[in-house]
Structure 1
Amino acid sequence: MVRPAQDRVLGGVAAAFAEKLGIGSGAMRLILVALVLLAGLSLWVYVIAWALLPDGRTGTIPLERWIG
């Protein structure tokens, strides 16, 4: 799973999950917003996913750059 180079709004996490699940990125964004508002999913989960998913443009993982 990679954060794509296109179809990014914030960090590309929703687009990466949408591609993995085979649904539209707009639908995935709505699902993530609903999970945050209704189920109490923390925005930290989004931040952690962003830090751990490779960037489709460079192939690097943000957490690796910060640690290494």
Structure 2
Amino acid sequence: MSGWTPSGALATNIEITSINVHRGDVIQIGGQPCRVANLVQLPAGAKRLFFESGEVLTMHARSRLIALRMTRKW
């Protein structure tokens, strides 16, 4: 994961669920930051998250995590 931040962008901690997780979100798992590279919709509102580093995580419909999201500053 690169440490580069686009100019004009702000990093914000947000609570995410399987409904509002996005590509590019950074989730800390076991003390390691992992950036979401791809998402796959699963039955019952779950999503499988594929990270840039190769790890995979399944978020169930009731899962709640804290993620770092880059937001554009206009």
Q: Is this a same-fold pair by TM over 0.5?
A: no
Higher helix residue share? 1
TM-score w.r.t. the length of structure 1 is 0.27
Higher strand residue share? 2
Q: Which has the higher contact order (CA 8 A, sep 6+)?
A: 2
TM-score w.r.t. the length of structure 2 is 0.26
